[in-house]
Structure 1
Amino acid sequence: MSTDDARRRRWRLLLGDAAEEAMDTTLGPVEAGMDRALAQLYDGREGEERSSPRRAGGLGSSAPGVARWLGDIRTYFPTSVVQVMQRDAIDRLQLTSMLLEPELLDSVQPDVHLAATLVGLNRVMPETTRRTARLVVGRVVAEIERRVARQTVAAVSGAVSRASRTRRPRLPDIDWPATIGANLQHYLPEQRTIVPEHLIGYGRRSSALARDVVVAIDQSGSMAESVVYAAVFAATLASLRTVRTSLVAFDTEVVDLTDRLADPVEVLFGCQLGGGTDINRALAYCQSLVTRPEETLLVLISDLFEGGIAEEMLRRVAQLLADGVTVVVLLALSDAGAPAFDGEHAAALAALGVPAFACTPDQFPDLLAVALSRGDIGLWAAREAVERGAAR
């Protein structure tokens, strides 16, 4: 097949069968299967009839039909495309109710969006479907753990060690930038060197409890993907003996899920996605968990659309800061782009010295490391934003 012919066929798949005659190209058997799968999703009814007379489209209400379609797209398309098409099918063709059938779940390609959808359906699932849903969500959680757990453990363990300093470090533990900065007055011009009269180094890691981390996650519907990632990260942190981790989920009510952190799947099915948002109430509960303010990091994951008393929320954050707590606000913890959020509240928090920004799961371990080692979170966030912009 020539390059021009391959390009025409790709455009034909993109534009649909109405363009077949105009483009003077014919699809092969495999491409025809791809075209049928695309047509069923993107050229069916969506509120009104499509203009193309040749594509009736739609997956109908039959679970076997949906299962066949799910099998087709897994045959014809790579995993990344399958996940996008599944997500579009749930949104465009109202297939949410179909996910309550165990036979259909067995055909689905698991991803974080599907996991969030299943968690949101938890309260209306029959028990037989719930068992299958837990297996599907478990596969997603296991994949996320493989992706981020090791990096998180390494980053947090190193940060906890580096947060403590000693004036009598062993050679491998010397913090050379800090040592040089502390000995600049001992520079010898004729030798072009610094005599380090005072050494500064990192303390050796101890098995003693070093830091407290409180993760407060907004479980309103818009934060679904963030809830999935937050559960995995909190469970990973809970496995570290030097960090005491608490996980709080909230909407207008507050649920402490700390006792479930041994199993992130159990954490997720303890959440109730959807509903309103009362950040102030959640912060009040988190405040009650703080016993060592200067050793506590509070990570609030929320889009900041406060349904409670916004002024009280800001006063509570200011009090946490005055007590010595390190506070970080994540508008989203997800792979998605810039989230929708309350800009006014984000600006008010920034004025208090609390950075509010979105963070991808791959960046989160580094964020934790900076926060736990008492680094400048705002500077880190700005640098990350610049680097992402340069990469694009």
Structure 2
Amino acid sequence: MREDVSGTVASGGSTAVHEERLRRWRLVLGAEGGDGTGHPLTGRDAAMDGVLAALYDGGAAAGGRRQGSRSAGLGGSAPSVARWLGDVRSYFPSSVVQVMQRDAIDRLGLSALLLEPEMLEAVEADVHLVGTLLSLNKAMPETTRETARAVVGKVVGELERRLASRTRATVSGALDRSARVSRPRHRDIDWDRTIRANLGNYLPEHGAVVPERLIGYGRAARSVRKEVVLCIDQSGSMAASVVYASVFGAVLASMRAIETRLVVFDTAVVDLTEQLDDPVDVLFGTQLGGGTDINRALAYCQSRITRPAETVVVLISDLYEGGIRREMLQRVAAMKASGVQFVTLLALSDEGAPAYDREHAAALAALGAPAFACTPDLFPEVMAAALERRPLPVPETV
């Protein structure tokens, strides 16, 4: 190893570049694998190496020791883990901290320690951490719940600031366009849009535009509120989607032109619409994990639809149905036949391609309800398309 790594680095040019590459290789390879670099670590680098060793050389469980490893791991107590989290934050950027936290939870079995306030105060909050906290919600002691709510509230607030303005602007534009009529009454003509649409009919000799096409808003169209039903699978694999959907639900509920309903389900169905003014309350009203009965959830949503032609139903699920498949598909077909716009999102997150039931996805596509994964940044465009009843912006990768 010494010969391979040193030879590779030596061809890099200057001594400074050589040393930096050796340093990076040493940090990547660890003590045993890195001995061939011949590069000792001191000071800050040695401390960084210790932080990495505690996580990645510490064995499969908190406090575990592996033969020949350079560290005993993070240990089983909250204080030692909290100290480790503080070190991670001092040596690495936020994006790396979040990855290392997730690895610590997965590799070292630290979920239970997140039930302790001092641990929660030390972590770098992100969507994945919120998902972990929600999965622990029912086991959380009262002494931790207030701290957990603060952590979740911080993440939700950041997401709202990032997503709310664009969502409101995009959806409001779609509502305006969907309400537009081509034969308005004189008092309802939108003269600015009408003139713009007819500039090709300008008659210079008369200094006037001939309005062959009138654009305006009918009074009935303006008075009809759209209905949006978010139906969210709260099985464990959908944690990030639940977080984003709750934020979007709160944003949509804040718009007067939309009547928003938020329903979460596993084998039971819970309507959280009354809590939509506070997405943190919505999230703590969920219970991640358990089975999945999509048919039962859709039956509930279908029973609450009063104006099908003005309703958009968004099912967010990986489609691993534990209920009655045939009835689930029949309900989707019935809703679409009644005029409901039906959207199926396999995931609402930035996590990449999700695992999902391909047979069910194909069956929904055959009904005219294509199922696809959606990022939070794309979601406003999806909602706008559904409200305007135009083709959905399905990603090419689906």
- TM-score, normalised with respect to structure 1: 0.89
Shift of 1:26: 2.1
Contact 2:195 2:211 (8 Å CA) reproduced: no
> Are the equivalent residues in 2 in contact too, given 1:220–1:251 (CA < 8 A)?
yes
> What SS does the corresponding residue of 1:337 show, helix, strand or coil?
coil
Q: Distance in 2 between matches of 1:20 and 1:310?
A: 54
Match of 1:32 among 43, 46, 55: 46
What's 1:261 paired with? Answer: 276
Residue 163 of structure 1 aligns to a residue whose secondary structure is: helix
| C-alpha separation in 1, matches of 2:60 and 2:323 | 36
CA 207–36 in structure 1, closer or farther in 2 if over 3 Å, else same:
farther
Q: Measure how far apart 1:174 and its partner are.
A: 4.4
Paired residue for 1:191?
Answer: none
- Deviation of 1:203 after TM superposition, in Å, equals 6.9
Answer yes or no: is the 8 Å Cα contact 2:65–2:72 preserved in 1. no
1:346 aligned residue = 361
Q: Which of 374, 385, 388 does residue 396 from structure 2 map onto?
A: 385
Conservation of the 8 A alpha-carbon contact between 1:41 and 1:57: no
Match of 1:147 in 2: 162
1:172 aligns with 2:192: yes
Structure 1 letter corresponding to 2:44? V
User: SS of 1:244's equivalent?
Assistant: strand
Does the 8 A contact of 2:27 with 2:34 survive in 1? Answer: no
Which of these residues, 145, 161, 165, is aligned with residue 130 of structure 1? 145
Query: Mapping of 1:174-323 within 5 angstroms?
Result: 174=194, 197-200=212-215, 208-323=223-338
TM-score when scaled to structure 2? 0.88
Asked if residue 15 in structure 1 is aligned to residue 29 in structure 2, the reply is yes
1:94-143: CA deviations, max 9, x gaps?
Answer: 00010010011100110001011111111111101011100000001001
Offset of 1:34 from its aligned partner? Answer: 1.1
* RMSD between aligned residues: 2.5
Aligned residues: 372
- Distance in 1 (CA, whole Å) between partners of 2:147 and 2:55 is 25
% identical aligned pairs: 60
Amino acid at match of 2:396: A
Matched AA of 1:325: V
SS of the equivalent of 1:16 reads: helix
Shift of 1:173: 2.8
Distance, in Å, in 1 between the alignment partners of 2:217 and 2:353 is 37
- Per mean C-alpha deviation after superposition, the further-off stretch among 366-375 and 225-234 is 366-375
Task: Please tell me the residue identity of whatever aligns with 1:173.
Answer: R
**1:45 alignment counterpart:** 59
Task: Report the alpha carbon displacement of residue 171 of structure 1 after superposing the two structures with TM.
Answer: 4.2
In structure 1, the residue corresponding to 2:289 is in which secondary structure?
coil
Q: Which amino acid aligns with 1:9?
A: R
Moved more, 25-34 or 209-218: 25-34
Max Rg structure:
2
CA–CA distance in 1 between the matches of 2:28 and 2:328?
49
CA deviation vs aligned residue, 1:290-326 (integer Å, no higher than 9, x gap): 0000000000000000000001100010000000000
Task: List structure 1 segments (4+ residues) > 6 angstroms apart after TM superposition.
Answer: 202-207
Match in the other structure for 2:206: none
Q: Does 1:73 align with 2:88?
A: yes
| Corresponding residue SS for 1:213 | strand
> What are structure 2's unaligned runs of at least 5 residues?
1-14, 202-208
> Secondary structure of the equivalent of 1:151?
helix
